[in-house]
Structure 1
Amino acid sequence: MEPDSLIQLAASGNVATVEDEWMRMLERARDPGDVARYSDTLKTLAGKDRGEEARALAWAALESMESRFEAQSVIAAASPLLLAVPDNPELRQQAAELVRKHYAGRPGIEALIREAGLEGGRPLRRALRTLDVCLRLEPGSFAAGRDEDRAARIEAIDPADWTITFSDGAGTRTLDPVRFADAYCPVQATDFRVLRRFDAAALAAKLQKEPASLIVSLLKIHGHQLNSDELEAILVPDLIPAGQWKKWFTRARNGLKRVPQVTVEGRSPYFLKYDATQTSIEEQFFSEFEGRHDALDKWSVVERYVRECKQHKSEPDRELLTRFHAALQAQARRRIESGARAALRDALIAYQSGRLVGSDESTRVVHDLLASIEDLESRLVELDVDALTCAALDCLRDVHPDSWRDVFLSLLPLARANVCEHIAEHLVGAGYDTADFEPAIERILAAPADHFEALLWLWNGPRHEARVCRTPLVTILMRLMGVLADLRRDDTVESAVLREYGGRARTALSARNYSRFEACLKAMDLNMAVALKSRLPRLEMLGDNVCDDLSTRINRAFPSIIKKKEIEPWLREDVLYVTQKGMTRRRSEIDEIVNVKLKENARAIGEAASKGDLSENAEYKFALEERDLLRGRLAMMQEEMGRVQVIDPAEVPTDYVGIGSKVRLRLPGGGEALDLSIVDPWISDVERHLYNYRTPLAQALLGRRVGDSAELNVGGVTGVYQIEAIESALPDL
C-alpha cells in the first residue's frame, strides 16, 4: 500500500488495518528510506488521538530497521518517524542507542548525546537537529549560516563537551553544539559562501570556467530562485567588474541550457528558478546510490538503473557504472580488511558491478576469499540473495575444480529455489543423474520444513526433472501439505512466518493455472484424494481462494468424492493418525538414517571399494546391501509421513473411544480394573498397555461408549470386558 493510501486509512480510524499494513510495509522495505516515506501515517494517527498506537508503530519500525539495515541509514530515517509521534522517553532512548551503536568509536559521542538532549531535557526536534549537524562535522569541514550569508571552517571539536571552535574570516569563536546547530548547517567545500570567505582563487576559477555551476550554487542558497538583477548585486563589482557583467551573464545563461534543473524566463530582468526534481537519470541514481550505506542497498540502486536503461532501450552510462563499481569495490575492500563476516557478500556485489564494466580485479578478490573460507556451506547459505549465491557458485568452480560438485550437492537442500535450479543445471551439465542427486533429495524429503525452499523447487519442477528427481509428485505434494499442517499446529510459530510460508506455497500450488497440482491428481487414488481434501479447511494460510480452487479440482478429478460417505477415522487406510510424540520419534528415526547411517554407509562403501576387485569383495557387497535396506526403510517411512495426520489433543473424544483415548475396562462380576490406551503405531507398547489403533483389540473398542461391552483377548485371556471410563491418554504420554 502506498503512503497516501495508508494515510487515508489512518484518517478513517481503522487502526487494526493500519497496523497490519504497517507491518507488511516493514517486511517489504528495501531500505530505511522506504520506511521514512510513511511517517505521515503516524502523524495522522497521532492527530486522531491515537498517539499510543502511533508510538507503538514507530517503535516497531525502529526495531525492524535496526535488525536489517546499517545503523547510519536507520538514524537518518528515524528522525521523521520520531517527530511524527508524541514525544516518548522510550523512543528517545531507542534512538540514542542507535547513535551509540553506529558511532561507538567516535570520541565524545556520549557527551554529544548528552549535550543534544536526545534522552531528555530538550525538544526532540532540536535534539535531532543538533545530532544531524554535529555528527557531520570534523576539523577542516565547513558550515554556513542558516539566516545570514556567512561561512565557517571547523577548527576543533572538544570531545569532553562537544564545544566547537570555528573561524568565520573575522576571527575564531566557540559555541556549544546546540547553539552551533541552531545557527549553522554543514556545507561542501565548493559552496559559494565557503569559497568567497576562504578560497578566493578557487572562486575566481569557478567564475571563469563554470559560470553555470556557480549560478546553480547561488540558487540553492537563495531559496531556489533569483532574478538577474539580484544576481548582479551579489557578484558585481566585488567578483565581476561592472563592464564585464553582460558578457559573463550571457555565457552563463548559455551554459544553463545544459542544466535541466534550471529554467530561465522573462527578460530584463531574467528570472532563474532551480527545480531539484529536474535531474538527469544518472544524477538521480548516483545521488540515491550515495545516500545508501549498506552495499546491498547500493547494489539495488545499480540494478534498478540498469533495468530502467534496458526498458528505455538505452545503453547505461559507462562513466556512471564505473563510479558505482569504484565505490562498491572500496567498500568491499574495507570489509575485507576489517575481517567482517559480510566481506564475502560485499566482495560479490563488487564482483557483480565489475562485470558491468569488464573489471577482473573483483573476480580475483572473490576467488581469494572463497579459497580462504573453511565453513563454505554456511557462508554461502548466509548470503540469502539468489544472484550473489549463484555468482559465488560460478566462481567456486574455478577455485575448487576438483571438489565443487560435492559442495554444490551438499548445499542443494539448504538453498533457495532459484539457487537450487542453478546448482542442478551445473551438476546435470557435469553428468549427474538421479542416483547422484538421491542423497540430497532424501535430505529434503526427510526434513521438509527445514528445507522448504528446496521442497518448493522440487514441486515447481526442475528443468531437467527426469535427471534430477524420481520421487513421485504425490509424495512431494503430501510433504508440502504436511509442513503447512505442522506450522499451523505449532503455537510457537509467529504469524509473519505463517504468512511467508503460506504465500510461498500458495504461489507454487497455483502456478501455471494449477497444472502441477492437476498432474498430481492423475497419479492419486480416491482414498488419498479424500485425505488431501480433508486437510484443506485447516490450511488457512493458503487463503480461501486457493483452497477453493484446489478443492474444486479434486472434485472434478474424483466426482464420486462428493458423494463419498464419511467413514470413521480409525477405518481410513489413506490417513495415518499419530500423536505428536510419535511424530517426533519418527522424525528422529528418519534423521538418524539420513544424517548418520547413510553417511556411515557411504564411507563404508568407499573404504570397501578402495580395497580393489569389487567382484570378490564381500565387504563391498555387504555395504551395498545395507544401503539398499536403509533406503528401502527410509522410503517406507517417508511414504507413511506423506499420509500422517497429527492428533489434535483438543479433538480426542471422551464420550466414546477414539484414537488417543484411555479406557478403563473390567470383567463382569468384579475383579481388577484394566487401563489401556489406544495410540499410534509409532509409540505402541503392549507391556505398557499402549495399543496401536489398527490392532484387532483396539478396533473392537473404537466407537464404543461407557457401559458398552466388547469381547477382547488381553494377555492371552479372552473375555467380555465392560467399559467403565473414557478419558484422553495424551496427557500421560
Structure 2
Amino acid sequence: MTEIPGDAQADVTRLRKLVTKKRFDELEALWLEAVAREDADVPGLMAVVEAVSRRDQSGVADSLFWFLLSQVIERQGAAAGLNLVRQAAGWLEGSGSLREEVAGAYETVCGDVGTMAEMTVLHAAIPFATAVKRFDRLLQLRPGTCVMDTQLDKLGQVVGLDAVARTLEVAFDDRSRTYDRLALDKLEPVADSDLRSRMVKDREGLEHMAAEAPAELVKTVLGTYGPRLELKELKEHLKPLISGPAWAKWWAEAKVQCRRDPMIEMSDDAQPWLFLRNRPVAYEDELRAAFDGAAAAEQKLTTVLTYLKECGSRPTHPEVMQHFGRELMDRFESWRADEPAMGIAALALMAGLRRHAPDVPEPKPNALESVLSGVTDLSMLLRPVASDDVARCLLGYVRDVLHSGWHDVWLAVMPGASQGVCEWIVQGLLEHGFSADVRQAIELILTRPERYPYAVAWLWRAMAAGRCPDVTGSLKGLDAAVALLIAVGGLARDTTFDKDQQKAILSQLRAALSQKDYEYLHTVLKEADDHGASRVHHAAVRNFVLGEHARLKVLDLITRTHPSLFLKDVPPWEEDDVIYTTAEGLQRHQQEFAHLVNIKMAANAKAIGEAAAFGDLSENAEFTAALEERNLLTEKAARMEADMKMARLIGADMAAVDHVTIGSVVTARDLGSGKTETMTFLGPWDAAPQNNVFSYRSPLALAFMGSKVGDTVELAVDAGKRAWEIQEIRPAAAETA
C-alpha cells in the first residue's frame, strides 16, 4: 500500500472539514493547492468529491473532479484518468468541460472514437454515469464481436458503427438490426472463449476440439453455461456439434478425459453432473481423497475399480496403486469376516493393481478359498453388493483363481444375484457348457421365489424375450408368472431387505411383469388351462403389495382369457371373495379392528398434531414418521374392513363330507417319521399352529384340501418334501360339541 505523505493527508483532512461546514468557496481555493501536489492523496481527494456531491453540490463536484482528472491525466496518463472517471461517474452530473475532458481521454487511449463520444459522453441529455457505461460498452462492440440481444435472446455479430445515423449494426441469422444509443443497453458482449462466440467465429476449431480434445470442449461449455451442468444439459448444448447418433461414441471417450482433467469434477452416476473448478485438482489426488473419505467398503472398491478400468489407455501412477493396495490389504481381514463379498472383491482388485504396480501387497495363498469356506449360504453372497461392476469383478476373479471349481460358485451365487449379474452369470456358464446345472439353479429359483426376487425378475424377462433358450425353453411361463407374483407378495414378510431395497426390488418386479403392457403375461394366460389360470389368480387376488393398478390388471387378464373360470363352482377353499371363519375367529378380528381404529389410529392422529407443533415440517422427522405410520395404519384398517365384508361362518354341515375341506379335523401318519398327527383346518383368524390349528389358506392346508382317507398328501418344504397318509377325516364341530 502506497504511503501518503503527511502534508497530503493534512490537505484531505482540511478539505473534509470544509465540506462538513459547507464552506465550498474556501474548499475550491484549497483544492487547487491540494491537487497540484506531486504527492497528492488521490483516493482521499476522490472521497472529498463524493462527499461534495452527496451535499447536492453537483456543479462544485464536477469542477473539483475536472481539475483532479486533468492533473491525473497529465501525470499518470489518460488510462489512469479513465479509471477515475469510472469510479466517480455515479457521483457527477457531467458538465460540458468535464465531458470534453473525458472524451479526449477516451480518444487518447482508444484512437478514433469521435462517433462513440457523440453518442455517449458528449450527449448532454444522457446522464453522465450512463454515458460512461455506454461508451465502455461501445468499445467492447467492435466489428466482429459476438453479442447477445438480451431482449430477443439471440446471438449476433457486430458489423460496425454508422457514423451518420449514430447507430450500431448487428447481423443475426435471419437479418441485420440497428441499435441507437438507447437500445445499446440490450446488447451484451460475448467473450471470444464463450461457446456461442466460437460457434460463430470458429466452428471448425470447435469440431477439431471435439475430435482431438473433448475435455477442452466440455470445459468451454461449462465455462459458458456452468459452472455445473447435468449430462443431459451438456448434450443439449453440444447438439450443433455432435449429432444424436454420434453422441454415445463421443461421450465414451470424453468422459474418461473429463474424469482425468484437473479442472473438471464429475460424479460417478450413469448420468453424471460435471463441474468446472476454480483451481486444478489432479485426478489421482481426487481419487485418493474419494477412496480415503469413503465410509462404506463398496464405495472404496468402486473407486479402485473405476481407476483400474481406465488404466488400459491412460498412464498409471504406481504410488496411488500402492496406496490402494495397502489400504485394501489392511481392510481385508475385517471384510472377509463381516462382508465376504467385499473381501473377495478386495482380492480381485489387489490382483488387478499388481498387474500395473508389482509392489502392491499380495494376500496369502488360498485367501479366496478361505473366504468362500466361511460363507454358509453362497446364494446370499451378493445381496449386499449394489454395484453390478463390483459383482462381476469378484466373480471374474473367482473364475480366474478356481480353475476347476469356479462354476460351482457361480451356480450357487446366481439365485441371489441382481438381474444384470444373473444374465452375465448364465451367459458365462452356457459358454462353458453348464446348461444342465443352470437349469437346476433355475428350478431352485422357482421353488423359493420370495427368497430370490431379483433372479425371478431376470427369469421372467429372459423368458419373455426368448433369451437363453437352452435353459428357459422347457420352462412353463405359468410357473414363472406364479413365482413372480409370489416374490412380490413375499416382500411384505421379508425382513432381510431394508426399505429402500424393498422399493427397488418391487419396482423391478412390477416393471418386469408389466413390460409391453403385460404382453408376456397375456400370452402365458392364453396358453394356460383353467387350473393354471386359477394358480395365477390365487397368487394375485390378495397380493396388495403388487399395487392396486397392477393387481387389477392381472385379474382382468385372467377374467378375459378364462371367463369360464368364474362361472363354474369352485371348492370353498378356492373362493377368493370369501373368508371362512368361526364365530370366535370373527369376533377376535372385529376386536383387533376396533383396537386399531379407536386406539392406534387415534394415538397416531394425536402424534401427528404434536409433531406438527414442532414447526418446519420440511425437516421434521417426527412429523414424517407419524405420517408414514398413519398411511400404514390406514392401509391395514382398509384391508381388515374389506376382509370382514367377505367373512362367512363355517357351517356345521360344511365338513360333513368324505374329503378334507374347511372345518375338517384330519388324522394322518407322517410317512417320514411314522408319527401320527392331528390337524384342524379352520379360517385364517382361527389359526393357532402351536395347537395344530391351521388356516385353510396355508400351504399345508391347501395340500390336504380335497383329499380322502387313504390318500397320500405331499408338501414341498425347505428340506425337500414331506408326505402323509390320511387315516381319518371328521368335522371340527364334533371335537367341540
Q: TM-score range by the shorter chain?
A: 0.3 to 0.5
Largest Rg, 1 or 2: 2
TM-score scaled by structure 2?
A: 0.37
TM-score scaled by structure 1?
A: 0.37
